[in-house]
Structure 1
């Protein structure tokens, strides 16, 4: 019977694999980073560490070359580095600065749940807020961010004003600044959209679960309240439940609306078939007044002005 080792050797020689393998090893061992690593850790490595770690050394050099050529790598965004593991050669992957920056940005974005909000909302900051004619609102927003402490209650803001004056942008600026400075988790609900979605949730019996999750958010913002189609069920069993919980637990809450608080009270008082639901509306408004103070924002339509500046 032929010896397996002789057959294997003959096969490798026929296909020049020994020569290829030796060239690979030579290339790996000549790599400056590999040489520096071996010199620096010579006393820590086992006598057969290089033989046993040949595959790791090759992986290191190969991945490093791919990075230099901007080719796809085994771990995109990570840079390979050699380490000593139990007296043998091993490889680990450390995130590159770009990857770290991207991960940090993603973590920051995750703190502000604003899936249904305008695109510029995500980039809003108090530093970039156009304060012309909006000084009072900006000062109040800055004061809130400055005083905010997790677990401590302070009144939020009820921002009223015409369409396009910067109410939603200011909500986003507060949320983004608190995320960046204190890792605060904020949920922003576009009320007209939310009212439709929560009504659809009746079909799968998920209304209560969604309400319970929403009412516990550290910082909650209702955008365009009063812009939804009036519904006694939404007012009492959804909005009322959330606001009651947040009032009891002293959780900061913000609002924006085209309606002033007195106008919103009239809107909330509309019941079925034209009946007057003032008592129920007053309960809602009492909670809103407890949770937030009204600030009216004036000034030109920011959206129209932005379009005109681009023309």
Structure 2
């Protein structure tokens, strides 16, 4: 096994180590990338430079990788997607790192995607786009209203939402998917839930201690989309403790809510009145509907059942 000293002697090549180091240092300091960085550090002393050569070599290597960038996934830098910057810290030459343009773009892309949160909604719904949506005559007015809402909604300032009413299969969920996609482009957080499954999940979450956390995440979304409200099995607890709590908070905070339903306002009111255990409770249903009617615009969507074509 070779000793460290023998390896060192071989690299020294007859006592020329100092010459090799000086040559490497000279080439390093002549590098345009290094020179450009050093010009920005007029306070750098010769002593600090000598002590920080290792950092300077690291800077040169990483920056040359960036000059010949192979793409974010193949980035050879020590911190993938990050570029070094020379700094003087406590009298020593050091490096800090910041995201390159590709990394920053990727972070921003993920951030935009995270703006659309969903529960029980197929992800492909959020590929819906107003540019490609079927703008037929029967749905033209409804789509125009949806486009206007997505372009102008102002959470925290204006609580007005939409109530999309129509028969099965007319494209209500697809339209709200396009709304969510447009809001993502604007940087507006959107939370979309399939209401029947969400209410079931809220019941189950009482047992595992996550009820309040889940309720708060929906209550506080900048724009909330409740898809297919009225399709759930209604109970006083769902109506008053879940739906009522959500709408109460959103009303006070001026946060818009978008609903889709197979019921119009009157039909949903009747649905909210009745439960298997409590019979008919008109006053409590009216209280919920007051918040829905007052803070949404009713949009009726006509047309054929697209699920059958």
User: Same fold by TM-score, threshold 0.5 exceeded?
Assistant: yes
- The partner residue of 2:276 within 248, 255, 272 is 272
Deviation at 1:84, TM superposition (A): 5.2
* Kept after mapping to 1: 8 A contact 2:169/2:307: yes
1:37 aligns with 2:37: yes
Shift in CA distance, 9/98, structure 1 to aligned 2, threshold 3 Å? closer
Deviation at 1:119, TM superposition (A): 1.7
Q: The residue matched to 2:267 in structure 1 has which SS?
A: helix
Once the two structures are superposed, what CA deviation does each residue of 1:203-231 show, in whole Å capped at 9, x if it has no partner?
13443454344323332221111222333
- The partner residue of 2:113 within 101, 109, 114 is 109
Shift in CA distance, 268/10, structure 1 to aligned 2, threshold 3 Å? closer
Equivalent in the alignment of 1:16: 11
Deviation at 1:106, TM superposition (A): 2.0
Q: The residue matched to 2:97 in structure 1 has which SS?
A: strand
* Partner Cα distance (2:145, 2:17) in 1: 74
The within-5 A match list for 1:46-85 is 46-67=45-66, 68=68, 70-83=74-87
Once the two structures are superposed, what CA deviation does each residue of 1:270-290 show, in whole Å capped at 9, x if it has no partner?
321593344433333232212
Q: CA RMSD in A?
A: 3.4
Once the two structures are superposed, what CA deviation does each residue of 1:58-109 show, in whole Å capped at 9, x if it has no partner?
2123324555364532111122344555675433333222212112222222
Equivalent in the alignment of 1:5: none
* Partner Cα distance (2:217, 2:94) in 1: 45
Q: The residue matched to 2:83 in structure 1 has which SS?
A: strand
Equivalent in the alignment of 1:282: 286
Equivalent in the alignment of 1:139: 144
Q: The residue matched to 1:294 in structure 2 has which SS?
A: strand
Equivalent in the alignment of 1:234: 238
Shift in CA distance, 187/163, structure 1 to aligned 2, threshold 3 Å? same
Equivalent in the alignment of 1:188: 192
Deviation at 1:300, TM superposition (A): 4.3
Deviation at 1:291, TM superposition (A): 2.1
Number of aligned residues: 296
Deviation at 1:158, TM superposition (A): 0.8
Shift in CA distance, 283/274, structure 1 to aligned 2, threshold 3 Å? same
Normalising by the residue count of structure 1, what TM-score does the alignment of the two structures yield?
0.78
Once the two structures are superposed, what CA deviation does each residue of 1:227-254 show, in whole Å capped at 9, x if it has no partner?
2233332122211222233335443211
* Partner Cα distance (1:33, 1:249) in 2: 52
* Partner Cα distance (1:263, 1:51) in 2: 80
Equivalent in the alignment of 1:167: 172
- The partner residue of 2:226 within 214, 222, 226 is 222
Deviation at 1:191, TM superposition (A): 0.7
Equivalent in the alignment of 1:92: 96
Deviation at 1:198, TM superposition (A): 0.4
Shift in CA distance, 232/115, structure 1 to aligned 2, threshold 3 Å? closer
Once the two structures are superposed, what CA deviation does each residue of 1:174-196 show, in whole Å capped at 9, x if it has no partner?
33433433x43322222122112
* Kept after mapping to 1: 8 A contact 2:226/2:258: yes
Deviation at 1:13, TM superposition (A): 3.5
* Kept after mapping to 2: 8 A contact 1:120/1:169: no
Deviation at 1:200, TM superposition (A): 0.7
Q: Which runs of 5+ in 1 are unaligned?
A: 1-7, 306-311
Normalising by the residue count of structure 2, what TM-score does the alignment of the two structures yield?
0.79
* Kept after mapping to 1: 8 A contact 2:156/2:253: no
Deviation at 1:156, TM superposition (A): 1.1
* Partner Cα distance (1:228, 1:150) in 2: 27
